[in-house]
Amino acid sequence: MNRCRLIFVLAIFLAAPSFGAADPEFHAVVRSIETQYGVHHLRIPFGLATLCLKIAQVPGASGLKIAVFNNFSQAEIPSDGEFEESIESTMGSGWLPVVRVRSNHDLTLIYANPSDKDIRALIVCLQSHVATVVQTKVTASQLRKWIEQPDEATHQMN
Partner 1 sequence: MRRLGAVVGLLLAAQMTATAQDLDPGGTIKKLAARASKTIDVNLDQSMLRFASAFLDPKDPDQAQAKKIIANMKGIYVHSLEFDKSGEYTEGDLSALRDALKQPEWSRIVNVRSKRDGENVEIYFKKDGEKFEGLILLATEPTEFTFVDIAGPITPEDVMRLGGHFGIPKVNIDQDSPTGKGQDK
Contacts with partner 1, residue ranges (CB under 8 A): 79-80, 96-104, 112, 114, 119, 140-141, 143-144, 147-151
Q: In whole angstroms, how close is the CB of 95 to partner 1 at the nearest point?
A: 11
* 109-to-1, 15, 121, 153 alpha-carbon distances in Å: 22, 24, 10, 9
Q: In whole angstroms, how close is the CB of 27 to partner 1 at the nearest point?
A: 24
The CA-CA-CA angle for residues 25, 105, 35, to 5°, reads: 35
* 82-to-36, 79, 85, 86, 88 alpha-carbon distances in Å: 11, 6, 5, 6, 10
Distance of alpha carbon 40 from alpha carbon 59, whole angstroms = 29
Of the pair 112, 126, the CB lying nearest partner 1 is at: 112
Of the pair 100, 129, the CB lying nearest partner 1 is at: 100
Nearest CA to 125 out of 62, 33, 63, 22 is that of 33
Of the pair 34, 88, the CB lying nearest partner 1 is at: 88
Q: In whole angstroms, how close is the CB of 144 to partner 1 at the nearest point?
A: 6
Q: In whole angstroms, how close is the CB of 39 to partner 1 at the nearest point?
A: 25
Of the pair 8, 146, the CB lying nearest partner 1 is at: 146
Distance of alpha carbon 60 from alpha carbon 85, whole angstroms = 29
